[in-house]
Amino acid sequence: MAPSAAAATGRSAFTPRHVVVPLPPGHRFPMTKYDRLAERLERDGWSLHRSPDATWRQLAQVHALPYLRAVQACRLDSAAERRLGLPQSAALVRRSLASTGGTVAALAEALKRGLGIHLAGGTHHAFAASGEGFCLFNDLVVAARSLRARAPRVLVIDLDVHQGNGTAALAAEDPSLVTYSVHGARNYPFRKVASDLDRALPDGVDDDGYLALIAHDVPWLLRRHAPDAVLYQAGVDVLAGDRYGRMALSLEGVQARDALVARACFAAGVPLAYALGGGYHPDIALTVEAHRLGLETIAAAWREGWTVAAAVADVASVC
């Protein structure tokens, strides 16, 4: 499928796969899932684009300058590196710049077309002056602040199994950001930071209980806060059997979750920017499939719902 045709169907995405980060053998972070997902989508006819780098100026809108200098020089101390969970390297810095810039680009695309997709990002554990949980920079908050002139109010919908503590902390004094997190009550991070709305769920929650909550909360949040855009952290570590998840959603349940979020946003005429988030199933193919099914569902929801919402908005502006 030609790039323009893929974009017209919503099957277009940014990817940072051009930056390879070597990790020690047996490292627990599933770096290969990103390439495997990109390759599968490309075979299926998606149009993939290189994620642009975030600038250091954009990062400085969110992160403390001493932290940025230490990251740039690969001089985080050993305790900070342990919290991060990834070994410092120039390649990691380059990858993190692309992973952040890709989410900025996805939000810009969403503001233009209604939907923007990034096959990475969702690094919601990064704070102003520290990184943790595999998250060096907070791409969600960098994207929101970089595009504040075009989207003065952004709702972050974080459905990763781990609470977005860094995002919540960064948004606490920022009235332009609204944060919503649905996560495992007994899962990492063990010291959580209050979001605007937190839903802490028990271990073993299944499709029915989880989806009923999303079906209620997301339309309510859109009505209450009337955001100019949604940043969607779509982690699939809610999947049953995920190494770090402790929930019990099926593949179909994860796909239904993504459909609920996308349809609610598009019905309300709210642009949606997607960031990949976590996924740590021992079978990486299952993680990739969960992401793929969700992405196809979101693209289909955009085709079905965005044009209708745009047409209604056009009629309303004339009237």
Q: Is the pLDDT of residue 183 over 80?
A: yes
User: What are the beta bridge partners of residue 200?
Assistant: 183
**pLDDT tens for residues 85-110?**
999 999 999 999 999 999 999 999 99
* Residue 286 lies in domain: 15-318
Other CB atoms within 10 A of residue 313 CB: 11
Rg (CA), the chain: 18
Task: Provide φ and ψ at 273, rounded to 5°.
Answer: -110, 125
In a domain, 3, yes or no: no
Cα 10 → chain centroid: 17
In a domain, 7, yes or no: no
Confidence of residue 317 (pLDDT cuts 50, 70, 90): very low
**pLDDT tens for residues 25-55?**
989 999 999 999 999 999 999 999 999 999 9
Q: What is the pLDDT of residue 115?
A: 98
In a domain, 4, yes or no: no
Q: Is the pLDDT of residue 312 over 90?
A: no
CA dihedral 281, 283, 289, 290 (to 10 degrees): -20
Q: Average model confidence (pLDDT) for the chain?
A: 94
Model confidence, pTM? 0.94
Closest CA to 91 of 105, 74, 77: 74
Closest CA to 126 of 71, 169, 81, 92: 169
Q: What is the DSSP string of 143-212?
A: HHHHTTTT-SSEEEEE-SSS--HHHHHHHTT-TTEEEEEEEETTSS-SS----SEEEEE-TT--HHHHHH
- Interatomic CA distance for residues 268 and 217, integer angstroms: 14
In a domain, 9, yes or no: no
Assign 3-class secondary structure to 94-139: HHHHHHHHHHHHHHHHHHHHCEEEECCCCCCCCCCCCCECCECCCH
Joined together, the tokens standing for residue 115 give 């939907």
CB 255 within 8 A of CB 100: no
In a domain, 8, yes or no: no
In a domain, 183, yes or no: yes
Q: Is the pLDDT of residue 227 over 50?
A: yes
Joined together, the tokens standing for residue 212 give 């009923």
Query: What DSSP character marks residue 249?
Result: B
- Of the candidate ranges 51-55, 188-192, 254-258, the one whose mean pLDDT is the lowest: 188-192
In a domain, 209, yes or no: yes
- Interatomic CA distance for residues 261 and 245, integer angstroms: 20
Looking at residue 144, which CATH number applies to its domain? 3.40.800.20
Number of domains in the chain: 1
In a domain, 2, yes or no: no
- Interatomic CA distance for residues 292 and 272, integer angstroms: 17
Q: What is the pLDDT of residue 8?
A: 85
